[in-house]
């Protein structure tokens, strides 16, 4: 999967805008390329975790499908820790098998972006 630099920049901007709380959303695309960022609301409004309401997920997936795209990555931010999947992330990833996770770390002020594939308890940086 090829994530366009402007989409990564948009995800980082979303992370900065939501700080100190975590942000979350989906990256959609087709034919191996990202095409659009879909921001979602962090219902937890927390700097330690994100939570998405099921209706928000459904609406976002419908919008992605309506645009002729498919989800190609999930993203969220870590505002206090390194951009590495937490145990909560690993557990949540079970619902999205094989989908890459983009994590933006803002702990030291500079944005660090990492992408992972999470298969069960196995985490691989991409």
pLDDT digits (tens, 9 = 90+) for 79-124: 999 999 999 999 999 999 989 999 999 998 899 999 999 998 899 9
> What is the tally of structural domains in the chain?
1
Q: What is the pTM of this model?
A: 0.95
State the chain's maximal CA–CA distance in angstroms.
38
Q: What gap in Å lies between CA 89 and CA 59, rounded to an integer?
A: 22
The pair of three-digit structure tokens given for residue 49, joined into one six-digit string = 């975790």
Q: What is the predicted pLDDT for the residue at 32?
A: 86
User: What residue numbers bound the domain in which 92 lies?
Assistant: 5-125
The mean per-residue pLDDT over the stretch 31-38 comes to 95
Measured in residues, the chain has a length of 126
What CA–CA distances, in Å, run from 101 to 66, 111? 23, 16
Strands annotated E in the chain = 24-30, 33-40, 70-78, 101-105, 112-119, 122-125
CATH code at position 79: 3.40.140.10
pLDDT band at 75 (very low <50, low <70, confident <90, very high): very high
């Amino acid at each position: 999967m090829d994530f366009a630099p402007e989409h990564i920049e948009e995800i980082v901007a979303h992370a900065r805008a939501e700080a100190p709380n975590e942000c979350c959303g989906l990256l959609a695309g087709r034919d191996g390329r990202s095409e659009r960022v879909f921001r979602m609301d962090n219902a937890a409004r927390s700097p330690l975790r994100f939570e998405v309401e099921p209706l928000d997920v459904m609406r976002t997936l419908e919008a992605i499908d309506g645009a002729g795209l498919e989800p190609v990555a999930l993203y969220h931010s870590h505002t206090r820790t390194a951009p590495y999947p937490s145990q909560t992330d690993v557990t949540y990833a079970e619902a999205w098998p094989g989908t890459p996770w983009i994590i933006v770390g803002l702990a030291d002020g500079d944005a660090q972006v990492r992408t992972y594939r999470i298969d069960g308890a196995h985490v691989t940086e991409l």
